[in-house]
Chains A and B, each alone.
Chain A
Amino acid sequence: MSFEQPRAQRNEPEEPELHERLDNLELRVHKLVGETKMNLQRIPGGEELASTAEGQSKLLKIQESARRFNQRVLGVAAMINTPTVFTGIAEGIGKHMGADWEQTLDPLINMGGRITATSLFTACVIMSMRTMKMYDQAEKTLNTMERKS
């Protein structure tokens, strides 16, 4: 009869328990949400970018990247079976959110030390929609300018 040795005696690295892994992942996503918000704040506005050739090229890259991010967040919404909720938030943001996006976002990422997957996911939806909306609007302005010239 053989008994399996405890993991520590076998000198194998111990894999963190599931709840510990989930806590670490939530912390990682929380940190990344904060970094993304800071990066978004550093990018010049769409109208400003549209005013120079170099800016226009950046504008297109940001749009492309925001669309890719949006698709991936939509993929997560499908994983948790909430694509209609995603669309609801996205449409709501499209209609109502302007320069106040940070006021909507901040409570989600500063929840008094409490991090929830829901607030993190919602923050991602808001950031992806805000970026798409902001730079899509700039592209429309750019197209209008090109037609006029």
Chain B
Amino acid sequence: MPQEQLQTAMQQIEKRLEMLKRENPAEYERMLKELANALEEFNRDLHSIV
């Protein structure tokens, strides 16, 4: 993926995340927890498969 395209997408994400953190920190926390749980599950799966 071209770097500029990725940078633009990340800027959009950053704007949303900053707004969420400022306006609804509890939801921001929930989002981080969900990301952590998704990663944990994926890692567990990969460990058990290989």
Which residues of A are in contact with B by a Cβ distance under 8 Å? Answer: 18, 21-22, 25-26, 28-29, 32-33, 35-36, 39-40, 42-43, 58, 61-62, 65-66, 68-69, 72-73, 75-76, 79-82, 85, 88-89, 92-93, 95-97, 104, 116-122, 124, 128
Given contacts A76-B31, A117-B17, contact A92 B5 (CB under 8 A): yes
Please name all residues of chain A whose beta carbon is closer than 8 Å to the beta carbon of B40 when the two chains form the complex. 32
Q: Which range holds the interface residue count of chain B?
A: 35 or more
Please name all residues of chain B whose beta carbon is closer than 8 Å to the beta carbon of A96 when the two chains form the complex. 1-2
Give the complex CA separation of A128 and B43 in angstroms: 12
Please name all residues of chain B whose beta carbon is closer than 8 Å to the beta carbon of A39 when the two chains form the complex. 43, 46-47, 50
What are 20 A-B residue pairs whose CB atoms fall within 8 Å in the complex? A26-B32, A29-B39, A32-B36, A33-B39, A36-B39, A39-B50, A40-B46, A42-B50, A43-B49, A62-B49, A65-B46, A68-B45, A73-B38, A80-B17, A80-B31, A93-B1, A117-B28, A117-B32, A118-B14, A122-B13
